[in-house]
Structure formats: structure tokens, C-alpha cells
Chains A and B, each alone.
Chain A
Amino acid sequence: MSDQPTTCDRLAEAVSLLAAGCLANEEDVEVREHLEGCADCRERFRQLCLVAQGVEHAYQPQQQVGGRIVAKAMRQIAAGRTERSGSRRRLWLAAGLALAASLLVILAWDDYQTYPTPEPPGPPTLLAYERAFAQSDEAFERLLNHQPRRSDRPWLPITIHALDRDLTP
């Protein structure tokens, strides 16, 4: 038995494609010539045509929806066009704002570097109380009424206590 494929084997795929209606013209002539002379391939071709027709016939959607889809797509495209011109304006605005913000940050940083932030005032020291006491009752009273910040608060009792102790004869 020869290992060489027969013409029938070689053209089997082309016969199927012809039955499916998608054989290129250049192959078509050779296949049709072969079919004319080969009863087996002709019968196979006949059967394949029936199969192809059967499948085509069996698969039919209930309704055509292409028109509806195109209408929806066109609405989306038209909306996108309007959106795009609006979004271009928004893009320029955002870019301008970003630029302004960058300039502000640069200027603020420059100021910060030139004038360092002073140390925040701490709670009144014992020396401050002594000085106020020596200065006048009014000054001492003002210092006593000093409202410390939340972070200063733990120091206040210690300071007052130290003042009491120091002022006790």
C-alpha cells in the first residue's frame, strides 16, 4: 500500500470547504474537476452540503437586532463626541489649576525656608512667675489666668505647685 496521499485525501478539506461555501476560486476549479470524476467524493460532497444546509437551517435567531444595536452605538458615539469636547475644556482647566497649585507650593516652600517657624510658646516658667510677681499683682494675676494649650496642660500643676513652694516663707 502506498504512503502517498490520494487525490481524494489531498482534496478532502477543500471538498468540505466547498460544501461550506468558502473555497477560494483558485482551488474551486481543481476540486470541481475531481468531483466530476470521483463518485465517492461526489457522494461525500452531497452529504456535506446537506449537513451544511441543515446547520444553517437549524440555527436561526428569533429576531434581527443589528439595527437596534447600531442605533445604540451611534447614540453612544454622538454622546461621546459632546462629552469629549466638554472633557477637553475640563482637561485644560485641571491643568491650569494644577499649575497654580504647584506655583503656590513652590512659593510657600521658599517662604518657609527664608523665615523659619518660631518655636511655639511653652507653659509659663517659674522664672516668668517670679518676674510677674515682682513686677505687679496685676501681671501676676494675668499670668495665673494664662490658658495653656491642650499639649501644655500636664505642666501646669507642676508649675503652680513649684510657685507655691517657692513663695512659701
Chain B
Amino acid sequence: MPTAADDDRDLIRRAREGDLAAFEGLAAREAERLFRCAWAMSHDRHLAEDLTQETLVEAWRSLGRFDGRCRFSTWLYGILRHRLAKSRRRRRPAVLDPAELLPAGELTEPGFSPAQAAQRSEDAACVRKAVASLSDEHRLVIELRFFAGARLDEIAAAVGCPLGTVKSRLHHGLEKLRQAKLRLNLFEASGESTEREP
């Protein structure tokens, strides 16, 4: 049974031969996460859209140079980092603009009681506040992982630092958020399931 990696390889081979539809398939898989990553890094939604588009166009032009030693997505994140570095509009607001995110009140899925929904909205607002209080490097890694859904190697390519540094920043960032939640005594009140599939 063909895996996603085999599928990727086939699409990349066809795209290299000039098959635009194959490249579109690859781009469609990565675009949303790439956009979120660009957004987390630039903190500018419109710039992030431009950067993502530029990254995809650049990837098409440079496809011949992709040597397959890393994942295609990781390679894209590397291009994105260069595009961002080249961008002259590197205005970085302190945090992701809450107006562009789903309002905390709309985060709750159906099926929650009004009290639970209110609690979850309040939690979301607290989390955003706590993430905003992190140092730049910790916040960026947290946002790339949980907002952009990037894997560790992709974060390393996007940020331009070694994998070990990314692991360390993610660990410390999460630990600081946990400490903040502990201080507010928010763990006891929560009755959510905690098990997470690795």
C-alpha cells in the first residue's frame, strides 16, 4: 500500500518533469500549515499570505534543487524563512492579532453546557495571555507547533536553528505555561481527558 511519502515522491518527480497539477497537489497539502507558520513568524496575516504564495512560486522554480534529503515540507519551511528574511516589511507585533483568530467565545464545539463553554472561553483567553508573556523564542516555537502544526524538523528549518534547540525551547515554553497555569491553580478545576497520542 503506498504511503504518503511514496505519494510525495511521485508528485515531486512529476512536478520536476513540469507537471503543474502534481505540484498543485503538493502545494495544496502544505499551504495551510505553511501559511500559519508564516503568520506565526511575521505576525502579519497579509504579509503571511504573500510570503506563502512567494514560497510556493519559489519552490516551483527551484524544484530541481530539492535533493530529497529532507521532507518536502521541511524544504518549504526553509524557503519561507529566506523569503521572510528578505522581506522588508518585517514589522513584528508582539503577539498574533486576536482579531484575526477565532474569538474565544466561538472556540467551544457544540455539546457543551453554557457553564462549560464559558469556562473554555475563559481558559482560551488565559492561554493566549500566557503565551503572549513568553519570550520571543519560546513563543515562536510554541506557536509554530500548536498554531501552525509544524513538526520539529520543520520548525528548525523555519527558525533556522538546530533540532536540539527547538526541542529545548519547546520544552521550556511548555514548562513555563504549565507553571503559569499551576500558579493560577487551573489544573484542579479541569476535568478534561489528558491522554495525548504521540
**Count of chain A residues with a beta carbon within 8 Å of a chain B beta carbon:** 43
8 sample A-B contacts, Cβ–Cβ < 8 Å, listed by A number: A48-B178, A51-B177, A52-B146, A57-B123, A59-B147, A62-B101, A76-B57, A77-B57
Which of B5-13, B64-72, B189-197 lies on the face that meets chain A?
B189-197
Given known A-B contacts A55-B177, A66-B35, A73-B57, A49 and B194 have beta carbons under 8 A apart: yes
In the complex the two chains form, what is the Cα distance from A2 to B135 in whole Å? 32
Asked if residues A58 and B128 are in contact (CB atoms below 8 Å), the reply is yes
Asked if residues B178 and A12 are in contact (CB atoms below 8 Å), the reply is no
Asked if residues A74 and B27 are in contact (CB atoms below 8 Å), the reply is yes
Total cross-chain contacts (CB, 8 A): 149
B79 to A: closest C-beta gap in Å? 12
Given known A-B contacts A55-B131, A62-B102, A16 and B151 have beta carbons under 8 A apart: no
Given known A-B contacts A19-B174, A73-B27, A59 and B198 have beta carbons under 8 A apart: no
| B117 lies within 8 A of chain A by Cβ | no
| A23 lies within 8 A of chain B by Cβ | yes
Q: Which residues of A contact B (CB under 8 A)?
A: 12-13, 16-23, 28, 44-62, 64-67, 69-70, 72-74, 76-78, 80
Q: Which residue of B lies closest to A27 (CB)?
A: B198
Beyond the given pairs A51-B127, A60-B102, 7 more chain A to chain B contacts, judged by CB atoms under 8 angstroms and listed by A's residue number, are A17-B171, A19-B174, A58-B123, A59-B128, A61-B101, A62-B101, A65-B32
Interface residues on B, range: 35 or more
Asked if residues A52 and B167 are in contact (CB atoms below 8 Å), the reply is no
In the complex the two chains form, what is the Cα distance from A78 to B20 in whole Å? 8
Asked if residues B28 and A70 are in contact (CB atoms below 8 Å), the reply is yes
Chain A residues lying within 8 Å of B34, measured Cβ to Cβ, are 66
Scan B12-24; emit 1 where CB is below 8 A from any A CB, else 0: 0000000010011
8 tightest A-B contacts by CB?
A66-B32, A66-B31, A73-B56, A16-B171, A58-B124, A58-B127, A59-B147, A55-B146
Asked if residues B167 and A13 are in contact (CB atoms below 8 Å), the reply is yes
| B96 lies within 8 A of chain A by Cβ | yes
Given known A-B contacts A70-B56, A77-B57, A19 and B146 have beta carbons under 8 A apart: no
